[in-house]
Amino acid sequence: MLDVRWVIVCGVTVVLVWALFARLLGSRRISAPMVMVLGGMVVGAASPLVQASSSAPLTLDLAVASSVLNGPVAEQIAEVILALVLFVDSFEIRRGVFGHEPRIAARLLGVALPLGLALGLGLGVLLFPQVSPAVVLVLVCAVMPTDLAPAAGILKDARLPERVRNVLNVESGYNDGLVAPVFVFALTLAGSRSHASTPQAALEEAVPAALIAVAVGVAVGGLAGLGMRRSVAGDLSTTHALRYGVVCLPLLTYALASEAHGNGFVAAFVAGIAFRSARGEAAHREVELSEDVAALASYVMWFVLGVCSVLVLGAVGSWPVLVFGLAALTVLRIVPVVLALLGSSLSWWDRWLVAPLVADHYARRAAARGRER
Protein backbone atom coordinates (compact mmCIF):
# COMPACT_ATOMS: atom_id res chain seq x y z
CA MET A 1 0.00 0.00 0.00
CA LEU A 2 1.24 3.51 -0.76
CA ASP A 3 2.53 5.54 2.17
CA VAL A 4 0.31 8.62 2.36
CA ARG A 5 3.18 10.78 3.59
CA TRP A 6 5.28 9.72 0.62
CA VAL A 7 2.43 10.60 -1.75
CA ILE A 8 2.20 14.06 -0.16
CA VAL A 9 5.95 14.59 -0.52
CA CYS A 10 5.80 13.56 -4.18
CA GLY A 11 2.78 15.79 -4.82
CA VAL A 12 4.28 18.96 -3.39
CA THR A 13 7.54 18.19 -5.18
CA VAL A 14 5.73 18.05 -8.51
CA VAL A 15 4.06 21.40 -7.75
CA LEU A 16 7.45 22.92 -6.94
CA VAL A 17 9.02 21.58 -10.14
CA TRP A 18 6.14 22.99 -12.18
CA ALA A 19 6.50 26.37 -10.43
CA LEU A 20 10.19 26.52 -11.33
CA PHE A 21 9.54 25.86 -15.03
CA ALA A 22 6.01 27.23 -15.47
CA ARG A 23 6.88 29.75 -18.20
CA LEU A 24 8.96 27.24 -20.16
CA LEU A 25 6.29 24.55 -19.91
CA GLY A 26 3.54 27.03 -20.77
CA SER A 27 5.33 28.04 -23.96
CA ARG A 28 5.12 24.39 -24.99
CA ARG A 29 1.43 24.15 -24.06
CA ILE A 30 2.14 22.00 -21.02
CA SER A 31 -0.16 23.20 -18.24
CA ALA A 32 -0.03 22.60 -14.49
CA PRO A 33 -2.83 19.97 -14.51
CA MET A 34 -0.97 18.02 -17.20
CA VAL A 35 2.19 18.03 -15.08
CA MET A 36 0.27 17.00 -11.96
CA VAL A 37 -1.51 14.11 -13.70
CA LEU A 38 1.76 12.89 -15.23
CA GLY A 39 3.50 13.13 -11.86
CA GLY A 40 0.68 11.20 -10.23
CA MET A 41 0.86 8.52 -12.89
CA VAL A 42 4.60 8.13 -12.32
CA VAL A 43 4.06 7.76 -8.57
CA GLY A 44 1.20 5.33 -9.15
CA ALA A 45 3.23 3.26 -11.63
CA ALA A 46 6.11 3.02 -9.16
CA SER A 47 3.87 1.82 -6.33
CA PRO A 48 3.71 -1.80 -5.14
CA LEU A 49 0.07 -1.93 -6.24
CA VAL A 50 1.01 -1.88 -9.90
CA GLN A 51 4.11 -4.01 -9.49
CA ALA A 52 2.24 -6.83 -7.74
CA SER A 53 2.90 -10.09 -9.55
CA SER A 54 -0.47 -11.70 -8.89
CA SER A 55 -4.04 -10.42 -9.05
CA ALA A 56 -4.88 -11.28 -5.43
CA PRO A 57 -2.60 -8.75 -3.68
CA LEU A 58 -3.48 -6.17 -6.33
CA THR A 59 -7.20 -6.63 -5.69
CA LEU A 60 -6.71 -6.48 -1.92
CA ASP A 61 -4.56 -3.34 -2.02
CA LEU A 62 -6.91 -1.68 -4.46
CA ALA A 63 -9.79 -2.37 -2.10
CA VAL A 64 -7.83 -0.77 0.74
CA ALA A 65 -6.99 2.21 -1.47
CA SER A 66 -10.64 2.52 -2.41
CA SER A 67 -11.69 2.49 1.23
CA VAL A 68 -9.25 5.33 1.95
CA LEU A 69 -10.39 7.44 -1.01
CA ASN A 70 -14.04 6.84 -0.17
CA GLY A 71 -13.55 7.51 3.53
CA PRO A 72 -15.29 10.42 5.26
CA VAL A 73 -12.15 12.57 5.51
CA ALA A 74 -11.19 12.22 1.84
CA GLU A 75 -14.81 12.72 0.83
CA GLN A 76 -15.13 15.96 2.82
CA ILE A 77 -11.85 17.31 1.43
CA ALA A 78 -12.92 16.59 -2.14
CA GLU A 79 -16.33 18.17 -1.59
CA VAL A 80 -14.87 21.36 -0.09
CA ILE A 81 -12.42 21.66 -2.99
CA LEU A 82 -15.22 21.18 -5.50
CA ALA A 83 -17.36 23.83 -3.76
CA LEU A 84 -14.47 26.29 -3.94
CA VAL A 85 -13.83 25.51 -7.60
CA LEU A 86 -17.51 25.92 -8.48
CA PHE A 87 -17.60 29.27 -6.67
CA VAL A 88 -14.61 30.51 -8.65
CA ASP A 89 -16.03 29.14 -11.91
CA SER A 90 -19.06 31.39 -11.54
CA PHE A 91 -16.77 34.42 -11.97
CA GLU A 92 -15.60 33.40 -15.44
CA ILE A 93 -18.38 35.36 -17.17
CA ARG A 94 -17.68 39.08 -17.09
CA ARG A 95 -20.56 40.42 -19.15
CA GLY A 96 -24.18 39.52 -18.51
CA VAL A 97 -25.48 36.10 -17.61
CA PHE A 98 -24.16 34.38 -20.77
CA GLY A 99 -21.24 36.64 -21.62
CA HIS A 100 -20.66 38.32 -24.99
CA GLU A 101 -22.42 35.59 -27.01
CA PRO A 102 -25.59 34.78 -25.04
CA ARG A 103 -27.42 32.92 -27.83
CA ILE A 104 -24.50 30.65 -28.66
CA ALA A 105 -23.75 30.05 -24.98
CA ALA A 106 -27.42 29.18 -24.39
CA ARG A 107 -27.23 26.63 -27.23
CA LEU A 108 -24.17 24.98 -25.70
CA LEU A 109 -25.54 24.86 -22.18
CA GLY A 110 -29.19 24.19 -23.01
CA VAL A 111 -28.81 21.79 -25.96
CA ALA A 112 -25.26 20.46 -26.33
CA LEU A 113 -24.68 19.70 -22.65
CA PRO A 114 -27.91 17.70 -22.07
CA LEU A 115 -27.45 15.93 -25.41
CA GLY A 116 -23.89 14.99 -24.47
CA LEU A 117 -25.08 13.61 -21.15
CA ALA A 118 -27.81 11.59 -22.89
CA LEU A 119 -25.40 10.15 -25.46
CA GLY A 120 -22.86 9.35 -22.75
CA LEU A 121 -25.52 7.60 -20.68
CA GLY A 122 -26.66 5.56 -23.68
CA LEU A 123 -23.13 4.49 -24.59
CA GLY A 124 -22.28 3.73 -20.96
CA VAL A 125 -25.32 1.49 -20.54
CA LEU A 126 -24.33 -0.42 -23.70
CA LEU A 127 -20.67 -0.81 -22.70
CA PHE A 128 -21.27 -1.59 -19.03
CA PRO A 129 -24.45 -3.73 -18.87
CA GLN A 130 -23.43 -5.07 -15.46
CA VAL A 131 -23.52 -1.55 -13.98
CA SER A 132 -26.79 0.16 -13.03
CA PRO A 133 -27.85 3.17 -15.17
CA ALA A 134 -27.69 5.38 -12.05
CA VAL A 135 -23.99 4.58 -11.56
CA VAL A 136 -23.36 5.15 -15.27
CA LEU A 137 -25.05 8.55 -14.98
CA VAL A 138 -22.74 9.44 -12.08
CA LEU A 139 -19.78 8.57 -14.31
CA VAL A 140 -21.17 10.57 -17.23
CA CYS A 141 -21.74 13.64 -15.06
CA ALA A 142 -18.13 13.41 -13.90
CA VAL A 143 -16.49 13.12 -17.33
CA MET A 144 -18.73 14.97 -19.77
CA PRO A 145 -18.67 18.62 -18.58
CA THR A 146 -15.72 20.37 -20.18
CA ASP A 147 -12.81 21.26 -17.93
CA LEU A 148 -10.46 23.63 -19.71
CA ALA A 149 -7.91 23.59 -16.88
CA PRO A 150 -5.54 21.27 -18.80
CA ALA A 151 -5.78 23.59 -21.82
CA ALA A 152 -6.47 26.94 -20.14
CA GLY A 153 -4.02 28.66 -22.49
CA ILE A 154 -6.53 28.35 -25.31
CA LEU A 155 -8.64 31.07 -23.66
CA LYS A 156 -5.71 33.49 -23.97
CA ASP A 157 -4.50 32.45 -27.41
CA ALA A 158 -4.87 35.54 -29.61
CA ARG A 159 -4.76 33.36 -32.73
CA LEU A 160 -8.26 32.12 -31.93
CA PRO A 161 -11.27 34.35 -32.69
CA GLU A 162 -12.29 36.36 -29.64
CA ARG A 163 -15.91 35.26 -29.81
CA VAL A 164 -14.82 31.63 -29.76
CA ARG A 165 -12.75 32.22 -26.63
CA ASN A 166 -15.67 34.03 -25.00
CA VAL A 167 -18.04 31.15 -25.73
CA LEU A 168 -15.59 28.56 -24.39
CA ASN A 169 -15.12 30.67 -21.28
CA VAL A 170 -18.85 30.85 -20.57
CA GLU A 171 -19.48 27.16 -21.30
CA SER A 172 -16.65 25.94 -19.10
CA GLY A 173 -17.69 28.32 -16.33
CA TYR A 174 -21.31 27.19 -16.11
CA ASN A 175 -21.35 23.51 -17.06
CA ASP A 176 -20.19 22.09 -13.72
CA GLY A 177 -22.75 24.14 -11.82
CA LEU A 178 -25.58 23.09 -14.14
CA VAL A 179 -24.62 19.41 -14.04
CA ALA A 180 -24.29 19.38 -10.24
CA PRO A 181 -28.05 18.81 -9.60
CA VAL A 182 -28.07 15.92 -12.09
CA PHE A 183 -24.96 14.51 -10.45
CA VAL A 184 -26.57 14.66 -7.00
CA PHE A 185 -29.75 13.09 -8.39
CA ALA A 186 -27.71 10.21 -9.82
CA LEU A 187 -25.81 9.80 -6.54
CA THR A 188 -29.09 9.79 -4.63
CA LEU A 189 -30.50 7.09 -6.89
CA ALA A 190 -27.33 4.97 -6.82
CA GLY A 191 -26.07 5.60 -3.29
CA SER A 192 -26.46 3.21 -0.41
CA ARG A 193 -27.11 6.02 2.08
CA SER A 194 -30.29 7.12 0.36
CA HIS A 195 -33.77 5.64 0.69
CA ALA A 196 -34.58 6.60 -2.91
CA SER A 197 -34.93 3.44 -4.96
CA THR A 198 -36.74 4.93 -7.96
CA PRO A 199 -36.13 8.00 -10.15
CA GLN A 200 -39.27 9.63 -8.74
CA ALA A 201 -38.08 9.14 -5.17
CA ALA A 202 -34.63 10.44 -6.09
CA LEU A 203 -36.19 13.53 -7.66
CA GLU A 204 -38.24 14.08 -4.52
CA GLU A 205 -34.95 14.28 -2.63
CA ALA A 206 -32.86 16.13 -5.23
CA VAL A 207 -35.32 18.90 -6.19
CA PRO A 208 -35.89 20.24 -2.64
CA ALA A 209 -32.14 20.03 -2.06
CA ALA A 210 -31.52 22.14 -5.18
CA LEU A 211 -34.14 24.71 -4.17
CA ILE A 212 -32.65 25.00 -0.69
CA ALA A 213 -29.22 25.39 -2.27
CA VAL A 214 -30.37 28.24 -4.50
CA ALA A 215 -31.95 30.05 -1.53
CA VAL A 216 -28.83 29.64 0.63
CA GLY A 217 -26.50 30.63 -2.21
CA VAL A 218 -28.46 33.77 -3.06
CA ALA A 219 -28.72 34.78 0.60
CA VAL A 220 -25.08 34.22 1.55
CA GLY A 221 -23.57 35.53 -1.69
CA GLY A 222 -25.90 38.50 -1.96
CA LEU A 223 -25.55 39.58 1.66
CA ALA A 224 -21.77 39.19 1.54
CA GLY A 225 -21.58 41.26 -1.63
CA LEU A 226 -23.71 44.05 -0.19
CA GLY A 227 -21.78 43.92 3.07
CA MET A 228 -18.44 44.24 1.32
CA ARG A 229 -19.74 47.07 -0.81
CA ARG A 230 -20.78 49.02 2.30
CA SER A 231 -17.52 48.17 4.01
CA VAL A 232 -15.47 49.62 1.18
CA ALA A 233 -17.75 52.68 0.88
CA GLY A 234 -17.25 53.39 4.58
CA ASP A 235 -13.49 52.80 4.34
CA LEU A 236 -13.77 50.03 6.94
CA SER A 237 -11.57 47.44 5.25
CA THR A 238 -9.08 46.82 2.45
CA THR A 239 -9.12 44.78 -0.74
CA HIS A 240 -6.38 42.57 0.69
CA ALA A 241 -8.46 41.72 3.77
CA LEU A 242 -11.66 41.24 1.79
CA ARG A 243 -9.96 38.61 -0.36
CA TYR A 244 -9.64 36.40 2.72
CA GLY A 245 -13.34 36.86 3.38
CA VAL A 246 -14.19 35.85 -0.17
CA VAL A 247 -12.23 32.59 0.25
CA CYS A 248 -14.50 31.75 3.19
CA LEU A 249 -17.72 32.41 1.24
CA PRO A 250 -17.96 29.08 -0.64
CA LEU A 251 -16.97 27.17 2.49
CA LEU A 252 -19.62 28.94 4.56
CA THR A 253 -22.23 28.49 1.85
CA TYR A 254 -21.44 24.81 1.42
CA ALA A 255 -21.64 24.20 5.17
CA LEU A 256 -24.92 26.06 5.64
CA ALA A 257 -26.54 24.40 2.63
CA SER A 258 -25.45 20.95 3.80
CA GLU A 259 -26.80 21.59 7.30
CA ALA A 260 -30.11 22.65 5.74
CA HIS A 261 -30.16 19.39 3.71
CA GLY A 262 -29.45 21.31 0.50
CA ASN A 263 -27.00 20.76 -2.34
CA GLY A 264 -23.76 22.37 -1.18
CA PHE A 265 -22.23 22.39 -4.66
CA VAL A 266 -25.13 24.22 -6.26
CA ALA A 267 -25.22 26.62 -3.31
CA ALA A 268 -21.54 27.50 -3.74
CA PHE A 269 -21.98 28.12 -7.47
CA VAL A 270 -25.09 30.27 -6.95
CA ALA A 271 -23.33 32.16 -4.15
CA GLY A 272 -20.61 33.16 -6.59
CA ILE A 273 -23.15 34.54 -9.06
CA ALA A 274 -25.07 36.37 -6.32
CA PHE A 275 -21.91 37.79 -4.78
CA ARG A 276 -20.65 39.05 -8.12
CA SER A 277 -24.00 40.67 -8.90
CA ALA A 278 -24.22 42.40 -5.51
CA ARG A 279 -20.57 43.44 -5.30
CA GLY A 280 -20.11 44.62 -8.88
CA GLU A 281 -16.89 44.66 -10.90
CA ALA A 282 -14.77 44.92 -7.73
CA ALA A 283 -15.66 41.27 -7.07
CA HIS A 284 -13.24 40.17 -9.78
CA ARG A 285 -10.35 41.78 -7.89
CA GLU A 286 -11.41 40.39 -4.55
CA VAL A 287 -11.75 36.81 -5.82
CA GLU A 288 -8.10 36.58 -6.91
CA LEU A 289 -6.96 34.84 -3.72
CA SER A 290 -9.85 32.40 -4.03
CA GLU A 291 -8.75 31.62 -7.58
CA ASP A 292 -5.20 30.86 -6.39
CA VAL A 293 -6.44 28.67 -3.54
CA ALA A 294 -8.84 26.84 -5.85
CA ALA A 295 -6.09 26.32 -8.41
CA LEU A 296 -3.69 24.87 -5.85
CA ALA A 297 -6.41 22.63 -4.42
CA SER A 298 -7.34 21.42 -7.89
CA TYR A 299 -3.67 20.60 -8.56
CA VAL A 300 -3.84 18.22 -5.62
CA MET A 301 -6.90 16.58 -7.15
CA TRP A 302 -5.18 16.27 -10.55
CA PHE A 303 -2.22 14.57 -8.86
CA VAL A 304 -4.50 12.13 -7.04
CA LEU A 305 -6.28 11.49 -10.33
CA GLY A 306 -2.97 10.55 -11.92
CA VAL A 307 -2.15 8.12 -9.11
CA CYS A 308 -5.60 6.55 -9.16
CA SER A 309 -5.76 6.26 -12.95
CA VAL A 310 -2.73 3.96 -13.01
CA LEU A 311 -4.03 1.87 -10.12
CA VAL A 312 -7.52 1.51 -11.55
CA LEU A 313 -6.42 0.82 -15.12
CA GLY A 314 -3.93 -1.73 -13.84
CA ALA A 315 -6.70 -3.55 -12.03
CA VAL A 316 -9.80 -3.16 -14.20
CA GLY A 317 -8.49 -1.93 -17.53
CA SER A 318 -10.53 -3.35 -20.41
CA TRP A 319 -11.66 -2.41 -23.89
CA PRO A 320 -15.07 -0.99 -22.79
CA VAL A 321 -13.27 1.42 -20.44
CA LEU A 322 -10.91 2.54 -23.19
CA VAL A 323 -13.74 2.92 -25.72
CA PHE A 324 -15.83 4.98 -23.32
CA GLY A 325 -12.85 7.17 -22.41
CA LEU A 326 -11.97 7.88 -26.03
CA ALA A 327 -15.60 8.53 -26.94
CA ALA A 328 -16.00 10.95 -24.00
CA LEU A 329 -12.98 12.93 -25.21
CA THR A 330 -14.08 13.07 -28.84
CA VAL A 331 -17.40 12.00 -30.36
CA LEU A 332 -19.58 12.50 -27.28
CA ARG A 333 -18.34 16.09 -27.02
CA ILE A 334 -18.03 17.08 -30.67
CA VAL A 335 -21.32 15.75 -32.05
CA PRO A 336 -23.62 17.50 -29.52
CA VAL A 337 -21.79 20.81 -29.95
CA VAL A 338 -21.89 20.71 -33.75
CA LEU A 339 -25.60 19.80 -33.71
CA ALA A 340 -26.41 22.53 -31.19
CA LEU A 341 -24.65 25.15 -33.31
CA LEU A 342 -26.46 24.31 -36.55
CA GLY A 343 -27.95 27.52 -37.91
CA SER A 344 -25.88 29.72 -35.59
CA SER A 345 -23.82 32.70 -36.72
CA LEU A 346 -20.55 30.85 -36.11
CA SER A 347 -18.67 29.58 -39.14
CA TRP A 348 -18.03 25.85 -39.49
CA TRP A 349 -14.39 26.30 -38.52
CA ASP A 350 -15.38 28.24 -35.42
CA ARG A 351 -17.87 25.50 -34.51
CA TRP A 352 -15.07 22.95 -34.56
CA LEU A 353 -13.09 25.24 -32.26
CA VAL A 354 -15.97 25.56 -29.83
CA ALA A 355 -16.45 21.78 -29.65
CA PRO A 356 -15.01 21.17 -26.15
CA LEU A 357 -11.50 19.79 -25.92
CA VAL A 358 -11.19 18.91 -29.61
CA ALA A 359 -7.72 17.62 -30.40
CA ASP A 360 -5.20 20.47 -30.51
CA HIS A 361 -4.36 19.55 -34.10
CA TYR A 362 -7.83 20.55 -35.28
CA ALA A 363 -7.75 23.72 -33.17
CA ARG A 364 -4.50 24.88 -34.77
CA ARG A 365 -5.78 24.13 -38.27
CA ALA A 366 -8.97 26.08 -37.66
CA ALA A 367 -7.06 28.99 -36.15
CA ALA A 368 -4.70 29.07 -39.15
CA ARG A 369 -7.62 29.15 -41.58
CA GLY A 370 -9.20 31.90 -39.48
CA ARG A 371 -6.09 34.03 -39.92
CA GLU A 372 -6.14 33.38 -43.66
CA ARG A 373 -9.71 34.74 -43.81
For all residues of the chain together, what is the average pLDDT? Answer: 77
- For 158-176, what is the mean pLDDT? 66
Question: What is the band of 305 on the pLDDT scale with cuts at 50, 70, 90?
Answer: confident
Average of per-residue pLDDT across 231-246: 92
CA 118 remoteness from chain centre:
19
Mean pLDDT of 28-47: 84
Greater confidence (86 vs 123) lies with 123
The pTM of this model reads 0.70
Lowest mean pLDDT among 2-16, 133-147, 273-287, 306-320: 306-320
For a pLDDT cut of 90, what percent of the chain falls above it? 22
What number of CA atoms fall less than 13 Å from residue 53's CA on the CB side?
A: 0
Q: Which option is the CATH number for 4-372: 1.20.1530, 1.25.60, 1.10.287, 3.90.930?
A: 1.20.1530
